[in-house]
A and B are shown apart, each in its own frame.
Chain A
Amino acid sequence: MNIFRLAGDLSHLLAIILLLIKIWKTRSCAGISGKSQILFAVVYVSRYLDLVTTFISLYNTLMKLVFITSSFATLYLMYVKFKATYDHNHDSFRIEFLLLPCFVLALLINASFTPLEVLWTFSIYLEAVAILPQLFLVSKTGEAESITSHYLFALGSYRALYLLNWIYRYYAEGHYDLIAIFAGAIQTILYCDFFYLYITKVLKGKKLQLPA
């Protein structure tokens, strides 16, 4: 564990908490993509199957449980409790266009061809693109509430911090994992446009509004 890794995990945790707070306080999931949240739930379940096979540390187990539980809690709030506020019409991204290619890619490019390893790899690829339905929703509506922007910023920062963690680990431990590094870089790049808008608008107290 190094500072970048810890900061990345905390940023990830913060993102999830911000999202739950936003939905709970406003009693609404307007502006949030249910499609992205479904993909994140798939990511966590397929990645954290090792919860039942390998014990790494208490921290590791707890964080995995928090990520899985909170993502299902988010889905419950969106699709059951506050269903009426869900932005159906704008959330029209077809997730099978992400799920299928990621799965095929995981079958083709993985560290070892075993069920757990392929599913782990699938989750890494899928996570890289899971935010696309959310970014698509923001671009369709042309704006995002400030708390939604903070959520996206924290979620995007998490993988960027992991990139620093991987650079650190490469120099400090000689450790690297090309699949994670490649997917993490793609994931971070997808957020760049959003990061720019966040820094130039939201941090200056303006609403995140896309140019018409």
Chain B
Amino acid sequence: ANSDESKDEL
């Protein structure tokens, strides 16, 4: 579940 949302994290 690596949506763009999780890519907000560093």
Contacts and interface: CB of A to CB of B under 8 A. Distances in A.
Interface of A: 5, 9, 12, 50, 54, 56-57, 60, 63-64, 67, 111-112, 117, 120-121, 162, 165, 175-180
Contacts of A56: 4, 7-8
Nearest to B1: A177
B10 A64 contact: yes
B4 to A, nearest CB: 7
B1 to A, nearest CB: 5
B10 A9 contact: yes
Contact of B8 (A60, A111, A117, A120): A60
Counting from the closest, the 8 A-B pairs by CB-CB distance are: A111-B2, A177-B6, A56-B8, A177-B1, A63-B10, A9-B10, A177-B2, A50-B7
Nearest to A165: B9
Contact of B2 (A60, A63, A117): A117
A176 B1 contact: yes
Contacts of B8: 56-57, 60
B4 A54 contact: yes
Contacts of A63: 10
Interface of B: 1-2, 4-10
Q: Name the residue in A60, A64, A112, A165 with the highest tally of chain B Cβ atoms < 10 Å from its Cβ.
A: A60
Nearest to B2: A111
Contacts of A57: 8
Contacts of A176: 1
Contacts of B2: 111-112, 117, 120-121, 177, 179
Contacts of A121: 2
A9 B4 CA distance: 18
A15 B7 CA distance: 22
A175 B5 contact: yes
Contacts of B5: 175
A162 B1 contact: no
Nearest to A111: B2
B10 to A, nearest CB: 5
A120 B1 CA distance: 13
